[in-house]
Structure 1
Amino acid sequence: MAKARDTYMVIGGCGFLGHHIVQQLLARGDSVCIFDLVQRHFDVPFYSGDITNVDDVSSALRKSGTSCIIHTASPPAGLKNEALYYKVNVEGTKSVIAAAVSTGVRKLVFTSSAGVVFNGADLINVDERLPYPEVPLDAYNDSKAKAEEVVLEANGKDGLLTVALRPAGIFGPGDRQVMAGMYQVYERNQTHFQIGDNTNLFDFTYVGNVAKAHLLAADKLDIPPPAPPLCDTREDALLAEDVPPFTSEEEKLISAPLPFVAATTGKHRIPTSEARPLGPYVELPPNGREIEAAFNDPNEELSGRPAIRTRFDQFSGVSLVMAKLRNTQINPLQVAGQAFFITNGEPCYFWDFARMIWHQLDAHFPGHRKRRDVFKLSKDIGLIAASGAELYGKLVGKEPAFTRFKVSFSCATRWHNIEKARRILDYEPDVGLDEGVQRMVQWCSLMGSIYIPKRIPKKSEPGERHNHHSTPSVFLTPPNTTSQPSIPMDDDPAWFPPQTRSYILSFQFSNWYPIFLKHTIKSTIIRPVPAGFQEYLTSDGIFVPEGAEDNPSDSQLSDDSDDLAETTITYSDANSDFRVKHWAFPDLDQRIRNCIEEYEGIFPKLNFSSPKDAYWVLFNANPLRCTSPSDVYILLKSSDFATHDTDTKNVFSGCIDLAPDEEPPNYELELILRKWYPIERNREVRCFVRNRRLIGISQRDMNYYEFLAEEQTKTKILASVSKFWETEIKDKWDVKDYTIDFLLTRELTKGHIIDFNPYSPRTDSLLFTYKELHSIAQDSHAVPEFRVIPSADHPAAMSNIPVFQHNMVPLEALTLSAGRTVSELEEALKEQIQESMQNGVTHDGKAA
């Protein structure tokens, strides 16, 4: 009888690792859905919720019919908020397990971390028998270890089968941590620096290999073990001699020859380093020359040999017997109830990996890197320098970027034995380090995510724009892209009111806000903006003015379940020869801080546009909530939507020409700071008004929401919105044609105005077409129509890839500058880069 296929839910499926897992599931034709905060990558069923809320997870599991959960969501390593780790990793995982049990889910694959056994000491070919450290290294790894324990303890209870995977040093396309720091060093031409002697082997793992391991674990999770656990044979088996002899299946599993990992990934050669098959040594072993000759011989056979074991080996008879005695409920050769290290099987010298990346970058930027001898800083000297940096950080009240932990980390040996995964999961890494690095750098290049700024000439030609980068332009928005939709060629001008400049200006915030002050979010209008502010917004590069930086808020969630974010060390740029234009707006900074204090968080916009296309750039838990002036600047600077308002050509694009004697209306840039308000997308609608008639209402978000499709709900919303428009808007504004974005309360009886937009081709008509709206407007007897996505199968359902998705390159790797030189900004930059993430928590602080 054929085995039933699973339906998968990937928790954190829009993150780095989760993305690749969903891709591989889709590629093999599986049914898959995602549980996360915002869907960014896939046109698959999507559920938004809080993993610490059992009801949220249970509801998604029931609706999707999930039979197998792959749980990848976690905050990244290196955050200050230790409580967040335990809330999300431990309590969140408990909620996932409880929801799985209550809904009858059969399988749970948990993404743990190789760091759960790391206590700062060297790890040399360690296997899964190594216990958790008595004194945890940090809150991240401790919370991961506790979550892993919870997962494994849940195995076999209430029909749930569980397994935990421990990846180490994940990298690859979509990476938002490793590439950022490595590129930063490269861009500054500092690749000749090295801490330690580079004899410490380190595990790095290609993300596609990690995703493959998750699918293998899910597939094999419910396969019976090669022999029954002791509890199924003898309840009184307490001594080694009482353990039954190994079955033929067990013997085959533990003794079958395994091919060298090099057979699948290619011989381990680092393009920029000496190939060292013997590893670090002081004296060459007696057969060392023969080993090196064989390594360099392209004709050398790499045939597998039967395993020869000692009593200390994890698959020796003694070790397996002891494993059976320690846990009589589990056969040590089964998948369920166990943890597995997942790596590339190619431990690499720590700095060799960085040089692999820099070597690949050379192909994209020939001639950029100067050839220099390696400058080696010993670990001891590095620790002394880091101690000074930490002391300085305490004195100035900032977290240092260069710490003793990071020095120790970059000099530590950390590599793991993956024989257990290879034998029991049939795991073999498909992509080696060399190819993986090539793919990662190539992906960054295709995404427009790597860029070397040109030197700024001393004098610019009139009208010429130059890059004013005070920091590396890592992960910039691709050039020559625009987020504003162009006017469709088949739209009939008769469908719209005359698109005059005066008409467009009536929709700038300062014109409508005073009229509807009581019915919208409290806001502060700053007009005029400081001198130079508009030039700053339109200058190339993404950086913040001097004095704008405050302590960053907590980072958001990711699925990057390892601590590789701590590995990259950067240095001051004493030889920087880039001219940097300094920006500073101290008065504006203070006004922003005052608003933040009054409103407890703000969201910025300009005259017309909000920087919603840059929601993923901030490092805090609520992606559009600003808690410092730097947050405001970085949102505006990263947005195509907002900078649209800085150019009158864009503002008045599509307007009818001025009469020969007509003076263009005055247009002045304004900055609006709105009180932060958590908008639940499923209660936001867009209303269309033509000739003072409300003719159409559309749900604003293009996800399918079951409650919206209910007739009772639709009737209630239509009545509430119509009543509000009739009583609070219709006769209080002299504009006849417009659209309104309106947010309903939870009771769906009241609401408030989010924004007004022109009735224009530039405004998205959502579930209508303007031709349909025109027909409704022509019918004097027509009543307003409310349109929603009626089912998950509707053509518009889940097609919620926003028009600004091209901007969603990894700006979590973005460096933050204060308009100073790179040397002056080193510490702030490093902290921000390491705290960057894509997935997050919901707007009320709950984990997604």
Structure 2
Amino acid sequence: MLHPSTAVMPNCGIMDSKKVLVTRGTGFVGSAIVRRLAEKYPNCLITVVDLNPPRPQQDLQERVQFVQVDVTDADKVDEAMDLIKPDIVLHTAGIIPPLADRFRRRLEEVVWAVNVKGTENVLTAAQKVGARAFVYTSSCCVTTDDMRFQYANISEEWPRTSTSLIYGESKAAAETLVLRASNDHTATCSLRPSVLFGPGDCQLLPSIHACIAKKETPFVIGDGFNLWDVTHVDNVADAHVLAAENLTTSQTAAGEAFFVQNEEPITFRDFCLAIWAHFGHVPPWEIHVPKRLAYFAGLICELATWATGSSTTLSRGSVQDACAVRYASGEKAKSILKYQPRVDLKTGIRLSCEEYADRIGVKLPRTPFTPKPQARRL
């Protein structure tokens, strides 16, 4: 696969001279979209709307303007939208609860305020100024946060979650608003990326890397064979640009939702092993912790934190998460959006590890370590 910095995307002119607004454009996904837009359409006018100004290392290009807005403030959103009058809106703004709160409802009010009400504010304002296209960054969690099921190669026909975690509930509610709003004046669609990784990742790769120092790498919950999807952030950026192109031309994506992933399902264990190997670490042995035992331990941790008022990483929910099967079909995105992941999994992991090592000041070994053929398994 091509390295994302050298891959050539043909400039077909569809969005040249168009005004494009990207909410949360200084964030992980938003900044990747801004980069891709600037590369493919050097003549489009990009505005980043975000609560947080760009960090020094982001250094937005001169032709990318920044407007500081809180999406939960409807009046401010209206003012910004009226000032910019975008042709296309790419709405990535949202809040993901930290891992310790993923399986709790402590942050429900703020999650709904940002993910649902914030989306409604941006969508309504976009319609008022006549935006032609609105692409919403949803999540696979609109389906997979329903912890009662396993999700093997699911399609978009699988129903949105009804019994779930607050994040999936909020994204499902916002996605419903967006898709129902699609019309001849403002065409909308929704993208559902799986778990994201890539340069700039502040959640997934750092937490996996931290297991080395905590000496947690030998422990495997369950059999370790459950497959899940991960998506490189540059591939998600590509999907957003393709969706915007579609909504401003054929509109065959209007009113539709699309799963977006690397289309290379992998076990969580193998994903972790690949990352650790880039940092020169291979677990010397493995201990498989039965799911039932881990589930009981999670319950004990929950009771302990309830009594002390602290937070826990291990919970019944995190155990279910670790053992879940969660991967989707990419056929719909391929057929309608013409989406193909350009950064393959192996390349994406390498690039992510190189960027994270540079970020934390660690030098990677020249060649990643590989497990011994007969690794001891307990």
TM-score, scaled to structure 2: 0.85
**RMSD between superposed Cα atoms in Å:** 1.8
- 1:114 alignment partner AA: C
| 1:598-747 alignment, distance < 5 Å | none
* Alignment counterpart, residue 197 of structure 1, candidates 213, 216, 223: 223
Does the CA-based 8 Å contact 2:197-2:232 persist in structure 1?
yes
Secondary structure class of the residue paired with 1:374 = strand
Structure 1 residues without counterparts, runs of 5 or longer: 226-333, 363-368, 453-848
Distance 1:138 1:444, change over 3 A: same
* Alignment counterpart, residue 50 of structure 2, candidates 21, 36, 58: 36
Q: How many Å separate the matches in 1 of 2:329 and 2:269?
A: 21
* Deviation digits for residues 567-625 of structure 1 (CA, Å, limit 9, x no counterpart): xxxxxxxxxxxxxxxxxxxxxxxxxxxxxxxxxxxxxxxxxxxxxxxxxxxxxxxxxxx
Shift of 1:4: 6.0
Q: Which residue of 2 aligns with 1:18?
A: 30
Shift of 1:63: 2.6
Secondary structure class of the residue paired with 1:428 = coil
How many residues align? The count is 335
Matched, 1:59 2:88: no
* Alignment counterpart, residue 267 of structure 2, candidates 349, 372, 388: 349
Does the CA-based 8 Å contact 1:25-1:31 persist in structure 2?
no
Matched, 1:27 2:39: yes
Matched, 1:187 2:99: no
Q: Which residue of 1 aligns with 2:276?
A: 358
Q: Which residue of 1 aligns with 2:170?
A: 143
Matched, 1:392 2:310: no
Q: How many Å separate the matches in 1 of 2:284 and 2:300?
A: 27
Secondary structure class of the residue paired with 1:166 = strand
Q: How many Å separate the matches in 1 of 2:282 and 2:130?
A: 60
Does the CA-based 8 Å contact 2:97-2:107 persist in structure 1?
no
What percent identity do the matched residue pairs reach?
Answer: 33
- 2:65 alignment partner AA: P
Distance 1:36 1:449, change over 3 A: farther
Does the CA-based 8 Å contact 2:246-2:253 persist in structure 1?
yes
Does the CA-based 8 Å contact 2:276-2:282 persist in structure 1?
no
| 1:389-428 alignment, distance < 5 Å | 389-428=301-340
Shift of 1:82: 0.3
Secondary structure class of the residue paired with 2:235 = helix
- 2:261 alignment partner AA: T
| 1:74-473 alignment, distance < 5 Å | 74-78=94-98, 79=101, 80-118=106-144, 119-120=146-147, 121-135=149-163, 137-156=164-183, 159-224=185-250, 334-362=252-280, 369=281, 371-450=283-362
Shift of 1:203: 0.4
- 1:73 alignment partner AA: A
Shift of 1:401: 2.0
Does the CA-based 8 Å contact 1:54-1:98 persist in structure 2?
no
Distance 1:192 1:155, change over 3 A: same
* Alignment counterpart, residue 19 of structure 2, candidates 1, 4, 7: 7
Shift of 1:180: 1.7
- 1:358 alignment partner AA: W
Shift of 1:211: 0.6
Q: How many Å separate the matches in 1 of 2:308 and 2:363?
A: 33
* Deviation digits for residues 18-42 of structure 1 (CA, Å, limit 9, x no counterpart): 1110111111213211001212221
Q: Which residue of 1 aligns with 2:89?
A: 69
Does the CA-based 8 Å contact 1:216-1:427 persist in structure 2?
yes
- 1:357 alignment partner AA: I
Does the CA-based 8 Å contact 2:162-2:169 persist in structure 1?
no
Structure 2 residues without counterparts, runs of 5 or longer: 1-12, 365-378
173-182 vs 56-65, which moves further: 56-65
Distance 1:408 1:399, change over 3 A: same
Secondary structure class of the residue paired with 2:360 = coil
- 1:75 alignment partner AA: I
Give the greater-gyration-radius structure (CA): 1
Secondary structure class of the residue paired with 2:279 = helix
Shift of 1:403: 0.4
- 1:338 alignment partner AA: E
* Deviation digits for residues 108-132 of structure 1 (CA, Å, limit 9, x no counterpart): 1100000101211100110000111
Instruction: Give the strand-richer structure, 1 or 2.
Output: 2
TM-score, scaled to structure 1: 0.39
Secondary structure class of the residue paired with 1:341 = strand
Q: How many Å separate the matches in 1 of 2:264 and 2:277?
A: 19
Does the CA-based 8 Å contact 2:71-2:77 persist in structure 1?
yes
Shift of 1:3: 5.1
Does the CA-based 8 Å contact 2:178-2:189 persist in structure 1?
yes
Q: How many Å separate the matches in 2 of 1:219 and 1:370?
A: 44
Shift of 1:449: 5.0
- 1:104 alignment partner AA: G
Q: How many Å separate the matches in 2 of 1:84 and 1:58?
A: 21
Q: How many Å separate the matches in 1 of 2:283 and 2:269?
A: 16
Instruction: Give the helix-richer structure, 1 or 2.
Output: 2
Secondary structure class of the residue paired with 1:357 = helix
Q: How many Å separate the matches in 2 of 1:392 and 1:451?
A: 39
Secondary structure class of the residue paired with 1:165 = strand
